[in-house]
Structure formats: C-alpha cells, structure tokens
Structure 1
Amino acid sequence: MSKILEKAQELGELLVDSEEYSTLEKAETVLESDQEAVELLDRFEEKQQKFATDRSNDELKEELQSLQKEMLSNEKVNNYFQSQKQFNQLMNSVNGEISNILNPDQGCSCGGNC
C-alpha cells in the first residue's frame, strides 16, 4: 500500500475515533429507535423529492415547511441534525486543510507572499 493510502486510512480511523463521529453515531441510533421520528423524516424526504420535480407547487412547499418545523421540534431529530452538522464541519475543515496544501495561493489574498 502506498504511503498516501496508508495516511488516508489513518485519517479515516482518526475521523471514526473523533468525538463528532461518535456523537453522530449515538444520535443516529437514538433516532432510529424512535418510529415516530423515522416516519417524520421519511415523510419529509418523500415531500422533498416531490418538490424537487415541482418547485411551483405552493401547497407542497407549505407542507415541507410544516414538516421541517415539526422535525426541528422533535428532540431526537434535532439532535441528529446538530450532530450531523458538527461532523460535516469537521469534514469541511479537513478538506479545507488538504485544499490549502494543494493550492496554497488560493486561500490567501496576498498573491502567495504571505
């Protein structure tokens, strides 16, 4: 295995061992144990898919907004979304660091002289 792949595997293991990933896993397990929360998410995803094909449907848009409020008021769904957001922020930071190494001039406004 090349050194790059070894480091990628090591990074993956560090991510899995991270607090953010652990929190996300726990939130997902709690969410999946609540049938009402799962059904709520399923209904939202179904409506969201329908809305993607018919964005002019105001009734569907209102249903989506109502379901979104209902989801965010559900503690288990909200905790899952917050955990997912935190893990995504970690992943974005990791990707940003890699991008900065690959394109050092892209992230600064000094023309590469900073």
Structure 2
Amino acid sequence: MNDSESVQNAEDAVEEKLQTFIDAVADSETYQQFIEANTQLESDPEAMELLDEYRQKQRQMQQNFDQELMAELQEIQTELSENETIKQHREAQSALVELLQKTNDVISEPIGMEFAQSTGGGCC
C-alpha cells in the first residue's frame, strides 16, 4: 500500500466515523426534542408573529436608536419570555447547544486544539 492509498483509507475511516457520529446526534433525544420544539414553533402563528415583530424592531434599532423603540423592544422581549412555545424552543435549543459543546470538548482534548474553532481562513 502506498502513501496515497494509506491517506485515502484514513480519510475514509474518518468519514465513516463522522457519519456514525452525525447519526448518533440525529438520533439523540436532545436533538429530537429540538426538532419537535422547532416544528411546534413554526406551527404557532402567535409565537412566529412575536418573533417577526422582535426581529423587525431589532433592525429598526440598528438603523436608528430611539427610546420609544427600545421600550417597544423590551415589551416584546417580555412577551417572548412568557410565550410557552418560545420557552420550550429556547430550552430545547440550549440543551442541543450544550450537547454539541460537550462533543466538541470530547473531540478537542485528544487532538490538542479546539475542534470547533474557526481558524480565520477563507481562501485569500
């Protein structure tokens, strides 16, 4: 076996393990709860309207800061925090982020660097 074949075999093995990892995450209860919460959120018109209104107010604030607009934004934030569908989505999202952070930590330790860290990059 030459060096090129050896490298290819190693890359194939990594891809196979990566697919196993992806499947395990996708099959996890944490991910499934996130998918369910996301579906519930997308099918809740009141929650979606609140989120759209919040995003719109945020964009307006970025363009022109205004105290009245800030008060409206804070009022919407309160409504968001009280909406059960949105709370469940946020909790499921936080649990998924925590799971992914743990997997990042497990991978990072043996390779001696932060696995999910951007190294800057781009091609140029």
Letter in 2 for 1:24: F
Q: 1:97 to 1:43 in 2, by over 3 A?
A: same
Q: What is the aligned-residue RMSD (CA, Å)?
A: 1.8
Is structure 2 residue 55 aligned with structure 1 residue 45? yes
Larger Rg over CA atoms: 2
Q: 1:63 to 1:101 in 2, by over 3 A?
A: farther
Q: 1:59 to 1:15 in 2, by over 3 A?
A: same
Residue 9 of structure 1 is aligned with which of 19, 33, 42?
19
Which 5+ residue runs of structure 1 have no aligned equivalent? 105-114
TM-score (norm 1): 0.79
Greater RCO, 1 or 2 (C-alpha within 8 Å, sep 6+): 1
Letter in 2 for 1:42: D
**Offset, 1:98:** 1.6
Match of 1:84 in 2: 93
Match of 1:60 in 2: 69
Partner Cα distance (1:2, 1:21) in 2: 26
Partner Cα distance (1:14, 1:90) in 2: 12
Match of 2:119 in 1: none
Partner Cα distance (1:67, 1:89) in 2: 27
TM-score (norm 2): 0.73
Match of 2:35 in 1: 25
Partner Cα distance (1:76, 1:4) in 2: 38
**Offset, 1:53:** 4.2
Q: 1:67 to 1:103 in 2, by over 3 A?
A: same
**Offset, 1:38:** 0.8
Partner Cα distance (1:10, 1:53) in 2: 45
Letter in 2 for 1:30: Q
Which 5+ residue runs of structure 2 have no aligned equivalent? 1-10, 114-124
